[in-house]
Amino acid sequence: MNKVLASADDAVADIPDGATLMLGGFGLCGIPENLVAALIRRGIKGLHTISNNMGVDGSGMGLMLEAGMVASHIGSYVGENRLLESLLLGGKLTVTLIPQGTLAERIRAGGAGIPAFYTPTGVGTVVAEGKESRDFEGRTYLMERALTADFAFIRAWRGDRLGNLVYRKTARNFNPMMAAAARTAIAEVEELVEPGELEPDSIVTPGIYIKRIIKGEHYERRIERRTIRQN
């Protein structure tokens, strides 16, 4: 099955107002910037986003926040996004902060069909408020619910027309688990190849998880710097 669409705009055309959306990335590394830009062009509102963080002002998800598209956000930290910080402190945006390991596992559990799990992270802190707890072998654990989404934006290095994906180094981060945890996972890749061209042992996300795939038109690579040493 050829899952390739002509553009990022085509790939996001049916995402409605109020959808729950997972977005891969860690800081500015491995973010699906072409899909984000296309969604901003659509101008939809009331999104419930799930991502490790919202990047920085003026880039990636930060642009979604500036466009007033986000109604609530689940993430691990505020990062370097001053607008997110101000909206959070001003009570103008619903933000749920989750310990990073717990966030990753809640997403992974959602993709694996596991409704909940127990973890010791957060016991005795505000993270534990309102949560069920149980003791196992003399230690207290909190119950955490899995996270799923209507859509997920995934960034990969290489992909084929069947949706099989290969990631590059730390740009892998949250992308594979989000691909499994969403009803409709949409991938953007730097290189689009024909089936059979990817080394099978290098494929991290099998195409069965990916519903749509596009070749990204532009990547800023803002965190990459060339250093020249003069002897």
Averaged over successive runs of 10 residues, the pLDDT of the chain (231 residues) comes to 94 97 91 95 95 84 92 88 87 92 98 98 95 97 98 97 96 96 98 96 97 90 67 64
Token pair listed for 166 = 């290969």
Three-state DSSP class for residue 40: helix
Asked if residue 20 is part of any domain, the answer here is: yes
CA proximity to 83, closest of 60, 63, 69, 98: 63
Q: Are 140 and 134 in contact (CB under 8 A)?
A: yes
Return the H-helix or E-strand segment holding 42.
helix 33-42
Look up the domain containing 53 and give its range: 8-215
Query: What pLDDT was estimated at residue 224?
Result: 54
Asked if residue 224 is part of any domain, the answer here is: no
Asked if residue 58 is part of any domain, the answer here is: yes
Total domains in the chain come to 1
What's the pTM value of the predicted model, to 2 decimals?
0.92
Interatomic CA distance for residues 35 and 19, integer angstroms: 15
Instruction: Tell the residue number behind the tokens 């939809």, with chain if given.
Output: 44
Close Cβ partners of 61 (under 8 Å, ≥ 6 residues apart): 23, 25, 31, 36, 49, 51, 54, 55, 81
Question: Tell me, what CATH number does 189's domain have?
Answer: 3.40.1080.10
Asked if residue 231 is part of any domain, the answer here is: no
Q: Check residue 46 and report its DSSP letter.
A: -
Asked if residue 173 is part of any domain, the answer here is: yes
Asked if residue 148 is part of any domain, the answer here is: yes
> Which amino acid, one-letter code, is at 201?
D
Work out the widest C-alpha separation in the chain, in whole angstroms: 61
Three-state DSSP class for residue 163: coil
Query: Cα 125 vs. chain centroid, distance in angstroms?
Result: 26
Query: What pLDDT was estimated at residue 56?
Result: 80
Asked if residue 39 is part of any domain, the answer here is: yes
